[in-house]
Amino acid sequence: MAVSPYQLARERAETEHLRQVGDDDLVRVVLGSDVKLAVPISTLSRASSHEIAGLLGISRSRAARLVTAFELGRRGAWTPPHRGDRCLDPGTVYTLMRDLAQEEAEEFHIILLDVRGRLLGRRLISRGSLTQCPVSPRDVLRAVIREGAHGVIYIHNHPSGDCTPSESDHDLTERLRAAAELVGVVARDHVIVGTDGYYSFVEAGRWRR
């Protein structure tokens, strides 16, 4: 009796080092069925269950298994800073907030810092649409003051993946920076995250002191 591609894939996964197992076989093991990849694995890793179902010609429930496996892999490889760690460098901020890049709508968050720039926590301020997210300086500073934070980093995502700031992003940055100064809060940076990486206003030299 012929052995199916799925059975062969499962045997390879059980007996070989997984780094030596091909993408097609890994997907077969996760789905528990025969499937042929029609697109690069990198494309599937960022797709929704609905998109994967269409790309591979499988059910939504099977596609959800694959989406779950990709998310578990991302979480397992993600080691964000913890409360009490210094969180001033834009790269560290991105590590903390990179999950935001996967959101399908724009969200505006803040990172709360103590006087030494150590992480106190992160807070969601506003959630908008695919292309915009209304943010009020009053709402932002209310959250900062309520938490007793000394400093704050503003952060939001671009669902398009492109982290380049828009004119409205520049305007918002200046309004938030000025508002923080008025109430004695130290605004440290504004970071935009996307699937392409991040943009830091401080790192780019666009942060007025």
Q: CB-based contacts of 196: which residues, under 8 Å, 6+ apart?
A: 161, 162, 163
- Separation between Cα atoms, residue 62 and residue 30, nearest integer Å: 9
Helix (H, G, I), strand (E, B) or coil at 89: coil
- What are the chain's domains? 5-77 (no CATH), 90-200 (3.40.140.10)
Q: Confidence class of residue 78 from pLDDT cuts 50, 70 and 90?
A: low
What pLDDT score does 72 carry? 77
- Please indicate whether residue 201 or residue 16 has the higher confidence score (pLDDT): 201
Token reading at 144: 């900062």
On average, the pLDDT of the chain sits at 85
Range scoring the smallest mean pLDDT among 22-26, 87-91, 180-184: 22-26
Report field, pTM of the whole predicted structure over 0.85: no
Dist. CA 138–CA 45, nearest whole Å: 38
